[in-house]
Structure 1
Amino acid sequence: MARQKALGHRLSDQGYDEARGEAFVTSIRPLLQRFAALGIALVALAVLAPAPSHAAAKIQHLVSPGGIEAWFVQDATVPLIAMEYAFGGGAAQDPAGKPGVGNMVADLLDEGSGDLDSRTFHERLERRAIELSFSSSRDSFRGSLRMLKDTRDEAFELLRMALTSPHFESADVERIRAQVMSGLRRETTNPNSLANRKFLALAYGEHPYGRPVNGTLDSVPAIEVADLKDYVRRVLARDTLKIAVVGDVDPATLGKLLDQTFGGLPAKGDLAPVADIEASRPPQRFFIPLDVPQTVVTFGGPGIRRDDPKFMAAYVVNHILGGGGLSSRLYREVREKRGLAYSVSEYLLWMQHSALFVGNTGTRADRAGDTVDAIDHEVRRMAEQGPTEQELDEAKSYLKGSQMLALDTSSKLAAALLQYQIDRLGIDYIERRNAIVDAVTAEDARQAAQRLWGQGLNTVIVGRAPQAAAQPAATPPAAN
């Protein structure tokens, strides 16, 4: 089945990159390779929306007859409709002792609902080329729906059923639980997964942000059907619902579809409060031994929240340091000049109650120390000196030019509009964004660099100890 089940979650499953249109679980700028969870495209329909500047001018604030709000771009260029939506809550609403509940709900909502069992439900999706998916990120429970214009009524009806009358049949629950557990077992030997989990645990401890979104080998077996139903009751409610739609549908028809789909949900959710938290301060370093060919390094520290007035300055200077792909300082210093790693990147990650900067690279075990030292040196140099005027001008030019090109499909534009709502950026943000980038001065960038990197790095290294890397791998015993 052509479904997208988010069984594993990377660090960047929430808090979206500006150059990707600020849009999760939503890949809008490929250079940072993040948020594939929400970047869903209809098979054989990678069609362009109108030119982004044209689409931005037509963004409507739609209110359905029943009072459900959405940001909407009507586009009749192709007979396609893309919808992204989110409920507040996400994995932060998992019970304290049971991380992974929201992730299990996301994997089970389309496993039979209403009068349809799991097999029949998916047969109807596939027969009509409807793409329906759900995911749980740290602060929101998200969904995506893609369909042709001719199948919109059935698509919205299947979504309504999934949201309002999921079955959670024992056989389906156990099948999905087994899939999740299989993914978690694989993570125990995956250096990237181990590094990410340790980094988040170091950053946030017992706070909900420190828990793995997809749960643990201990928590997932303890999740009961009652936990799943209680999560749905508390989280899937209209008061936190945000919706973005792009496609070939008129406002009156869309309003009716939204009422029919979401109108039966509870008016108010029952969310547990989540406290604001600052990530643990650097410098700290941890090593996790694992016998793998390549050592993985995850590094980072406290970030700058999306609502901070200096966020854009941080975003621009971060692009220069590590977010600009092949043009970034880290790439040049670590890969090109020293040959220590094949790639290295660093990005800002923001959530509703905290923010991080996070970087990743991989290298040989005997060069891990040199790699970390090179990264730390470049980070400290940026914190002390800030970027050059040329770097700043080039970064601003790139970020202004690339953003519009990044919103080149209905799905990407819908994902971006959803994230703009979540981040409270305003319906005219696309139009204002370049002026905000232009307003960043060299002094703004220098101050942001000092805030981000002045304390150094928290670092997690996963791989062989340097001395072990110099030895040949042990030969496994012959089978009897």
Structure 2
Amino acid sequence: MKKFKKYLFALVILQGSLMSATIKHIETNGIKIPVIFEEQKSLPILNLQLVFQNSGYIQDKNKSGLASLSSQLLNEGTKKLGSTAFAQKLEENAISLQASNGFETFVIELSNLKDVSSKSIDLLTKLIKSPNYTEDTLDKIKTLKIGALKRKENDFDYTAKNLLKAELFKGTSLQNPSSGTIESIEKINLKDIKTFINDTVNLNNLIIVAGGDFDYEEFKTLITPVLEALKTGTKRKLEEVKFVSKKQEETLIKETEQAYIYFGSSYNITASDENRYMAKVASFILGGSGFGSRLMEEIRVKRGLAYSAYGSVSINKSHTFFSGYLQTKNESAKEAQTLVTQIIEDFVKKGVTQNELKAARNFLTGSEPLRNEVLSQRLNKAFTLFYRGLDQDYPNQELKLIENLKLEDLNKFIQSHKEINNLTFAIVRK
């Protein structure tokens, strides 16, 4: 069976169709559900994602880790079959069925060979109708979650990253760890999870992302039992995460041989902003390109203060921010922190050079086609564009914009985002 799954994985990797996804709608119970669909005849597979928007750990509120724990419970099979028997049925048919969550979304993903699609849809339908809501199941996943969190107590990267989130996003739904804390996980009960899943897994919040060896009408028939199993629910509105970064530092003293330095700031741009392509280029040059980026060249190459140093802009529907990180010797922590501040201030003040723009342009325009080789990549990209309100042809438009980007315009854009200088630092050191 493991060989069979490897075969399925290899088939997915070896595809390479140049077809693209289309946006359609299925109407159920008076609700028009968006469907991002791509027919892929070269391989006999089904790839399906049920994406419930505005439903990730943004909805945890004062129960940090609730979304994460809820997705884990859905990975424990149905109440009738239980975890082991349900997993065995998936294994016997080489079906992959998994729930997960991000900050803004809660996702149930299904993939399998075409000839077992009826079985996979049946198992998915049963899971939606009757998750394994038992105290034993909850105790099991809470024990595993708490164990994982305890093991992370000495993961200083994890600690520094969460320390930055707590300071940078203080007072918002982003301030807590997505996995929760030991204390918050212990307090979550079965009623909390039932309520979260009932409020999340429904038609009003659903976007369907699907592709494979089916025409659209075939797929509509196939997915019908799943849609009939879903409740109507209430449509959620996306909460905008509003925050303004400040120049501040939070240091945590631990017995560590290195200093872990995380930093971040506000970045005033939206997911649908017409200048987001400039943010992509600027971010690449500043810290996203590895060797050759400003942060890497100044911190590692010229001064040898760290093995690596990165920084990038994260553009989401609910929020956007700049963040970065590096590790250095304890005795070099202050020097490295000061250097990060200086590099970013210089970047905002003076902008980039023509050579930096040329290198970024060559890489970004050359690597983009490689991100569209696999069906799942194309579907994920199509979903992201749809979710952010962008045209499906936006990647091609963006490539043209990057190809024609003038140095003067890019530097004007960089200099207009002085908020990036308001760096919040989170440092774990000895």
TM-score (norm 2): 0.91
1:63 matched residue in structure 2: 25
Q: Aligned partners of 1:158 and 1:141: how far apart in 2?
A: 19
In 2, the alpha carbon distance for the partners of 1:237 and 1:108 equals 17
C-alpha displacement at 1:438, in angstroms?
3.3
Q: Relative to structure 1, is the Cα distance of residues 284 and 166 closer, same or farther in structure 2, using a 3 angstrom cutoff?
A: same
Instruction: Give the Å deviation of 1:300.
Output: 1.3
Say which of 258, 280, 293 aligns to 1:294.
258
Label 1:270 to 1:77 Cα distance change in 2 as closer, same or farther (>3 A). closer
Measured at CA, do residues 431 and 310 of structure 1 come closer, stay the same or move farther in structure 2, by a change above 3 Å?
closer
Q: 2:305 aligns with which of 322, 327, 340?
A: 340
Is 377-386 or 301-310 further displaced after alignment?
Answer: 301-310
> Over residues 40-92 of structure 1, what are the superposed CA-to-partner deviations in whole Å (9 max), with x where a residue is unaligned?
995444523335xx223xx2223346454311111122222222331122111
Paired residue type of 1:92: I
Partner of 1:328: 293
Aligned counterpart in structure 2 of residue 305 of structure 1, from 254, 264, 270: 270
Alignment-derived partner of residue 263 in structure 1: 228
Q: Residues 364, 45 of structure 1: CA spacing in aligned structure 2 closer, same or farther, 3 A cutoff?
A: farther
Structure 2 counterpart of 1:166, one-letter code: P
User: Which is richer in helix?
Assistant: 2
Q: Which moved more, 1:430-439 or 1:312-321?
A: 430-439
Q: Distance in 1 between matches of 2:386 and 2:169?
A: 26
SS where residue 349 of structure 2 aligns? helix
- Give the CA deviation at 1:307: 2.2
Is the CA contact (8 Å cut-off) linking 1:50 and 1:75 kept in structure 2? no
**Secondary structure of residue in 1 paired with 2:192:** helix
Counterpart in 1 of 2:370? 405
Q: Please tell me the residue identity of whatever aligns with 2:324.
A: G
Match of 2:383 among 403, 418, 427: 418
SS at match of 2:339: helix
Q: What displacement does 1:452 show?
A: 5.5
Between the two proteins, the alignment pairs up a number of residues equal to: 421
The letter for the 2-side match of 1:460 is A
**In 1, distance between residues paired with 2:289 and 2:50?**
29
Shift of 1:153: 1.6
Q: 1:432 aligns with which of 386, 393, 397?
A: 397
Query: Separation in 1 of the partners of 2:238 and 2:359?
Result: 42
1:305 CA displacement: 2.4
Counterparts of 1:274 and 1:419 in 2: how far apart (Å)? 18
Letter in 2 for 1:73: E
Q: What's 2:101 paired with?
A: 136
Paired with 2:420 and 2:316, the residues of 1 have a C-alpha distance of 22
Instruction: Give yes or no for the alignment of 1:50 onto 2:20.
Output: no
For the Cα contact (< 8 Å) 1:313–1:448, is it kept in 2? yes
**Change in CA separation of 1:142 and 1:328 when aligned onto 2, cut-off 3 Å:** same
The code of the aligned residue for 2:372 comes to L
1:344 CA displacement: 1.3
- The residue number in structure 1 matching 2:425 is 459
Which AA in structure 2 matches 1:62? K
Q: Is the 8 A contact 1:64 1:256 kept in 2?
A: no
Residue identity in the other structure for 2:423: L
* Partner SS for 1:254: helix
Q: Distance in 2 between matches of 1:452 and 1:408?
A: 38
Alpha-carbon distance change, 294 to 257 in structure 1, aligned in 2, over 3 angstroms: farther
8 Å CA contact 2:247–2:424 kept in 1: the answer is: yes
* 1:394 maps onto 2:394 in alignment: no
SS of equivalent to 2:154: coil
Looking at structure 1, the residues matched to 169 and 230 of structure 2 have their Cα atoms a distance apart, in angstroms, of: 33
Q: Tell me what 1:172 maps to.
A: 137
Give the C-alpha shift of residue 298 in structure 1. Answer: 0.6
The Cα of 1:156 is off from its aligned counterpart by 2.1
Pair 136,381 (structure 1): closer, same or farther in 2 beyond 3 Å: same
- Tell me the CA shift for residue 274 of structure 1: 2.7
Distance 1:48 1:453, change over 3 A: farther
Counterpart contact for 1:346–1:357, Cα < 8 Å = yes
Deviation at residue 346 of structure 1 after TM alignment: 1.2
- What secondary structure sits across from 2:318 in the alignment? coil
- One-letter amino acid matched to 2:182: L
Identity %: 24
CA–CA distance in structure 2, aligned partners of residues 181 and 301 of structure 1: 31
Task: Call closer, same or farther: CA 1:360–1:462 in 2, change over 3 Å.
Answer: same
Q: CA shift at 1:394, angstroms?
A: 2.2
CA displacement, residues 233-289 of structure 1 (integer Å, 9 cap, x when unaligned): 1111222212222322221111122222233212232647734402x3232112111
Amino acid aligned to 2:352? P
Q: Which runs of 5+ in 2 are unaligned?
A: none
Q: Shift in Å at residue 202 of structure 1?
A: 0.9
Name 1:474's counterpart in structure 2: none
State how 1:77-96 maps to structure 2 within 5 Å.
77-88=42-53, 89-94=55-60, 96=61
Greater alpha carbon shift after TM alignment, 188-197 vs 156-165: 156-165
Shift of 1:136: 1.8
- Match in the other structure for 2:63: 98
1:371 pairs, out of 324, 327, 336, with 336
SS of residue paired to 2:263: strand
Cα distance in 2 between the residues matched to 1:273 and 1:43:
35
**Alpha-carbon shift at residue 215 of structure 1 (Å):** 1.1
Q: CA separation of 1:293/1:127 partners in 2, compared to 1, >3 Å: closer, same or farther?
A: farther
| Structure 1 residue 199 displacement after superposition | 0.9
Q: Kindly provide the amino acid, as one letter, of the partner of residue 49 in structure 1.
A: Q
Say whether the 8 Å CA contact 1:100–1:219 is kept in structure 2.
Answer: yes
